[in-house]
Every structure is written in C-alpha cells, then in structure tokens.
Structure 1
Amino acid sequence: MTFQDTVQKGDVHPLIAIAIFILDFLCIHPFHDGNGRMSRLLTLLLLHKFGYEVGRYISIETLIEESKETYYDVLKRSSIHWHEGKNDIFPWLHYFLSIIVAAYKKLEERVGYVETSRGNKRKRIKDFIEGKIGYFTKEEIRHACPDISEATINRVLNELKEAKKITPIGKGRSAKWKKTSE
C-alpha cells in the first residue's frame, strides 16, 4: 500500500504515516550524501500538506540538530531488521512526534496560544454538511475548506457515516453523500 493510499484510507493518523514514510526514506538511503537534509525537507512538505504549519515558523531542522545524538540512536534502533520488515518503529515514532510537539511548544512560547476565527476543522466540515440541502460531494467540501486535508475530511465523513448522520451514494471519486433523515 502506498503512502497516499494509507492516508486517504484514514486508518492511520497522518503524523504516524509521515513518521513511518520518513523512517523508510532514511532506511532506503537513496543518495550518497544529503539524505538527512532531504528527509527534513520531505517532513516539512508532508506536514504542510496535512495542515501542520509549525515548520513555517519553527525550525524542525534546529530541533533535530539540538538532539542529534538521540536522532542517530533512535534511527539506528528503528532501522535494525528494516530490510526484513521486522524493525521496531516505536523509538523513531516517539522521537519524531516529540520533535513535532517540541516545535509546537516553541511556537506557543513565542506567540502564545492563538485561536483562529475560522474554527475547528472538524466543526467546519460538519457545519458545511449541515448547511447543505440534498446531495454533496467531497470535492464541494474541499472547495469550501481548502486548508483542510483529505485525511481529515475522510475521518469526519466516516464518523458521520458511522453515526448514521450521512450516507454515501456511489463509491470512489464520484460518490455523493446525503444527510439522513434521523
């Protein structure tokens, strides 16, 4: 299963999927030099794609540099038996997520806690659906909420479907949704 398939399916949180993708990239070690720098660029790109903007304001590169010994230690521990598919991802996962948390803490220290007027992403999706009459598509949600990731939209749609508040008509990209009469 590809990275894109994994996050679109919504079974794995995007931060976990990103962490595993980066670990795989580092284990593959595709370049003679610069794999670490490239992995941090990929990290920033993927974080941005899924709505985690902290890398625009806080240097994740610096946070990793400040914990370089730990970085190399967990990378080594998590890459043992990677080629056989029997590696332990948890040291890397813990480290990666702790770097993201540290970045958000640094951002909060610098600017304080800021609440946007746009509101919670899940609430915005639910409000959009609530305001619709008749059928709606994921494309309409993406158009109305362009800053919200595909994975978040899928999670909210699945939650509402399981709660029997909406029902899909069709499958795939052309699927339409409608609110149930409950």
Structure 2
Amino acid sequence: MLYLNPELDAADQAVLAGIYRRRDKVASAMRVPKRWPGLLRRNLMARAIQGSNSIEGYVVATDDAAAAVDYEEALTADEQTFAEIRGYRQALGYVLTLAQTGADVDESTLRALHFMLLGHDLGKRPGQYRTGPIYVRNDRTGDTVYEAPGSETVPALMAELVSTLTTDIDPIVAGAMAHLNLVMIHPFRDGNGRMARALQTLLVSRGGLAEPTFCSIEEWLGVNTEDYYRVLARTGPGRWSPDRDAHLWLKFSLRAHDIQSQTVERRMHRTERAWSRLDELVAAERLPERTTDALYDALIGFRIRRHGYLTRAAIDERTASRDLKALTDAALLEPRGETRARHYVAGSRLIALRATLREEVPNHITDPYPTLRSDLYLTEA
C-alpha cells in the first residue's frame, strides 16, 4: 500500500489553474525566436541542480552548477562535491530527455537514473535497492527522525509505485505523490531525496505542462529546506505510514509550484529586459555581439573565466583576451585573481544595471496558501 492521492479541494483547484496559466504564458513567450531563452534554460537547470544538492549538504555556487551544465570544470567546488553535482547534472539531463520523448517509466528507468546520480561512488551501490534497514537522522542532534520500511518490502513497494506512474491524473499531483512515496520508501542506500525530486520533475514535465526546465521546484525546495523536512515529518511521523492523509504534502507541493512559477515568470521578464539593455551597452561601446552572453552571466552574479568564454563564443585565445580587456576597460567587467585563478565579475556599470532591473521587475511573490504558511510555521513566500 502506498500513500493515496488526496482529493483536491476548491483552493487546490484554483492554485492548479493559476500554475497552468502562468506556465502557458512562459512557454508561449519562450517559443518566440530570441537569443536569450537558451541562457535562461541553462541557468534554471543550474539552480535546480544547486537546490536539490544543497538539501543533501552539497553546497556550491550557482556558477559552479552552471559549469556542470556546460560540462566545464568547477571554479571553487571541491572534487567530491563537484562529483555529486556532475552526477545530478547527468541524472537530470536523462530526466529531461525522457520527458521530451514521452517514454514510459519503469523500475529499470529508476535504477538507471540512480546509477547516473551516484555512479561515481560504487560503494553506495548505485542502481541497486538497499538490502538492510535505513534510518534518517537529524544531523544536528543525531536523533533518528524516520525509519523506512523493511528492505524485504522494497521490491514490491517499488513495483507498486511504478504501476501508479501511468495513471491518468494531473501531472503536478502525480509528481508530488511519486516524490512522497519514493522518499518515504527510501529504496536506496543514498540519493533517495534527489531521486524523488528528479522523478517529480520528470512526471510534471512529461505531462506537457511546460518545458522540463520550467517545471522543477528543486530550486525552491533548496531555499526552503526546513519547511520541506517539516511537512515530510508531519506526513510520515517517524516511520512508513501510508495510511495517513497526504493532503498537507500535496498543498505544500502546489504552493512550491505556484511560487516557483511566479519566480520563473519574473526571471523571464527580467532576462528579456536585461538582454535589451546589454545589447544597447555592447552597441554603444562597439563591442562584438558575442560578448553579450558573458555580460549576462556576470550581471546575474556568475564569475567569467577566459576558457569558458572562448569555448562558448567559439573563438581563439587571443580574441578572448582582447574581448575581456575591452569589457574591463569599459567598466563592464572587473578582473579578480591571478594566473589560473583569474576570472571576471560584474563591473560598476553592470552593478548599476542590476539595481535598475530590480526596481523595474520587483521580487513580489503572492503566497497561494497564506493560512497554510502560518499553520505550519513556514517561511514567507
């Protein structure tokens, strides 16, 4: 027996409708041929990778996550942490491919996904179900906060879970419930949380809601980790309890989707404005059009490395050095570090533009469940 799909109330239906309207608007805007959507997709994927891994204690800068998306080396992350980031980038890439092809998800799919996630550490038995008990502990206190079902029940529970993935229900609801059931079954020795979040992204995007990179709530969960754990603890208090009502968890997931969709919509508008302003700056300084990509990354807080710039711009070393010097001379970039550690950050003119864009597209978020937040002591939207 698994956690059952709750019946949506009127408030849930209204929130769902709002998510779909916002996602449709974003998807429509992204289909119009422009130069900036690819960068927005890349950065959203990087934030999803960063968010999901931060929940597990693997904390990296967003530009290091973006480096993993681009198959580049890390700027500052240590080797072990970046191996985890690369593994999740590979797994999430597989998820996005599955979503686009519409392929069925079976147990072999989930095992393959787990292997991609943790294949760099064979000691964690990637792609194999656990064969013993497993407990979730509070890292701060050392207390056991959850005991998963016995390993002898895992194969049957996973088979039942997979059988529910083809049911004809709303994809957002399906994703939320698959997430809940997988994380509560805890079928693997490690990586269960990341697996559950990746599976949720797959089911939501496979439902045709929007492009896969716009469907993930992993960034939001990474920022709101304490709330995430709090709701899971309320839904499954200390042990496998599939007879409990999962409506609270579903509302929490809908809240996450709604707030993240607002964030994506706002980020899209800000990106479009930013790109227009950067084009104006590049034209005024008579810089090559190819420099706009690097300026956008610096504008949103990324560090720019010469190798990464020349690779993405498809130019040689001498041209890259000339471009970066011109951007520095124009106070658009500012150099940091020496030799191999040399990189560039936003210069004074980009910092001023960043402040202007924040005023023009403010970070206003409306909480779809304000009473839910107060009832559970959740952080504000």
Listed as ranges, the gaps of 5+ residues in structure 1 are 113-182
CA pair 82-51 structure 1, distance change in 2 beyond 3 A = farther
Q: Does residue 227 of structure 2 align to residue 85 of structure 1? A: no
CA pair 32-19 structure 1, distance change in 2 beyond 3 A = same
CA pair 67-3 structure 1, distance change in 2 beyond 3 A = same
Q: Distance in 2 between matches of 1:35 and 1:104?
A: 25
Matched ranges for 1:30-69 at <5 A: 30-53=187-210, 55-57=212-214, 60-69=217-226
- Deviation for aligned residue 1:52: 2.5
Amino acid at match of 1:44: T
Residue 53 of structure 1 aligns to a residue whose secondary structure is coil
Q: Does residue 262 of structure 2 align to residue 105 of structure 1? A: yes
Residue 189 of structure 2 aligns to a residue whose secondary structure is coil
Q: Distance in 2 between matches of 1:51 and 1:89?
A: 24
> Can you list the C-alpha shifts for 1:88-133, whole angstroms capped at 9, x where unaligned?
2022111111111112101111224xxxxxxxxxxxxxxxxxxxxx
Residue 167 of structure 2 aligns to a residue whose secondary structure is helix
Amino acid at match of 1:62: E
Q: Distance in 1 between matches of 2:229 and 2:239?
A: 15
Q: Distance in 1 between matches of 2:213 and 2:241?
A: 36
Q: Distance in 1 between matches of 2:257 and 2:211?
A: 8
- Deviation for aligned residue 1:60: 2.4
Amino acid at match of 1:106: T
Q: Distance in 2 between matches of 1:84 and 1:44?
A: 24
Q: Distance in 2 between matches of 1:22 and 1:35?
A: 10
Contact 2:235-2:249 at 8 Å conserved across structures? yes
Q: Distance in 1 between matches of 2:242 and 2:218?
A: 28
Q: Distance in 2 between matches of 1:44 and 1:4?
A: 13
> Can you list the C-alpha shifts for 1:5-24, whole angstroms capped at 9, x where unaligned?
522xxxx3222122111101
Amino acid at match of 2:167: T
Q: Distance in 1 between matches of 2:232 and 2:222?
A: 14
Q: Does residue 170 of structure 2 align to residue 13 of structure 1? A: yes
Query: Which structure: larger Rg?
Result: 2
Q: Distance in 1 between matches of 2:265 and 2:165?
A: 30
CA pair 81-54 structure 1, distance change in 2 beyond 3 A = farther
Amino acid at match of 2:164: F
Contact 2:235-2:244 at 8 Å conserved across structures? yes
Contact 1:64-1:71 at 8 Å conserved across structures? yes
Matched ranges for 1:99-138 at <5 A: 99-112=256-269
Contact 1:44-1:55 at 8 Å conserved across structures? yes
Contact 1:58-1:107 at 8 Å conserved across structures? no
Contact 1:26-1:35 at 8 Å conserved across structures? yes
Amino acid at match of 1:6: T
Listed as ranges, the gaps of 5+ residues in structure 2 are 1-159, 270-381
Amino acid at match of 2:230: D
Q: Distance in 2 between matches of 1:62 and 1:4?
A: 23
- Deviation for aligned residue 1:55: 4.7
Contact 2:201-2:216 at 8 Å conserved across structures? no
Tell me what 2:345 maps to.
none
- Deviation for aligned residue 1:58: 7.1
- Deviation for aligned residue 1:4: 3.7
CA pair 32-23 structure 1, distance change in 2 beyond 3 A = same
Tell me what 2:88 maps to.
none
Amino acid at match of 1:103: Q
CA pair 27-70 structure 1, distance change in 2 beyond 3 A = same
Residue 30 of structure 1 aligns to a residue whose secondary structure is coil
Q: Distance in 2 between matches of 1:46 and 1:30?
A: 19
Task: Please report the RMSD computed on the Cα atoms of aligned residues, expressed in angstroms.
Answer: 2.3
Q: Distance in 2 between matches of 1:102 and 1:49?
A: 20
Which of 140, 164, 180 is residue 3 of structure 1 equivalent to?
164
Q: Distance in 2 between matches of 1:101 and 1:91?
A: 15
CA pair 21-52 structure 1, distance change in 2 beyond 3 A = same
